[in-house]
Amino acid sequence: MPTTEHEALDGLVNLRDLGGIPVEEGVETAAGVVLRSDAPHAGDRIPELPAQWPPKVVVDLRDPSELAGKPHPLAEVARVHRVPLLQEEQGDGGGADDTRHALTALYQRMLDRAAKKLVEVFRIVLESDGPVLIHCAAGKDRTGVASAMLLSAAGVRRDAIVADYVLTDQNMPRVLQRLSVDPQLPPGVDEEMVRQLISAPAEAIESVLDRFDEHEGGAAGWLLAHDVTQAEVDRWRERFLAADG
């Protein structure tokens, strides 16, 4: 029986497991550790994933204003941590370059002004005892930066991180439909702006990886420069990496 358009939107439309991504020959990321997605809605159908559902832990990267005072749809079945990546820390980070692509500028701003929050995301995922779902509204920008950090910190190849990020492109039409049903957006962002930034261009996430690569070891080195310990990085790799096959 064909799936109707309503049914197609009655569940997460930008959901994927970050397992199975290549690190090096014979090593890949483990399934069922980190999931990334668009924002869950109340009444969503259970997704078809090999990983455990519901997740044990949820990291919601949205701003409080996007929540409209509503409880998280998974609050009764998972531990929900709210880490608003666009709620910036004052006086932290460098100046903006207005000549950059809008997404590149946004991602660099997150690295400059929300570094402590990204470290918080890293530690929440590290300390969890089961699958972790990371999401924002669309599961593209804030989720993309956080996912790139986790993947790079585990030693995942740059091309594989970019490939995971651009997968969102094909899901954006349905993501926008879902957002129009529940249109709470970050402060200063309207639906027209969302539509202008709907793509997931490789160069945007490459700019994040370039920043990580200023440090030895990529995001692992970036995390070490932001008060994460080598022991924590080692534990993360032990948790997130698995032998291929």
How many residues comprise the chain?
245
Judging by DSSP bridges, how do beta strands 27-29 and 57-60 pair with one another?
unpaired
Per the structure block, which two tokens stand in for 140?
Answer: 């593209």
What's residue 93's pLDDT?
Answer: 45
pLDDT at 150: 98
Rounded Cα distance, 152 and 161, in Å: 7
Q: Three-class SS of residue 44? A: coil
pTM for this one?
0.88
pLDDT < 70 stretches in the chain:
1-8, 88-100, 181-197, 243-245
User: 163 is written with which tokens?
Assistant: 């490939």
Specify the pairing of strand 22-24 against strand 27-29. Answer: antiparallel
pLDDT of amino acid 1: 37
Task: Please report the pLDDT score of residue 60 as a whole number.
Answer: 98
Q: So what's the pLDDT on residue 194?
A: 56
What residue ranges define each of the domains in the chain, with the CATH number in brackets? 8-19+26-40+51-87+96-240 (3.90.190.10)
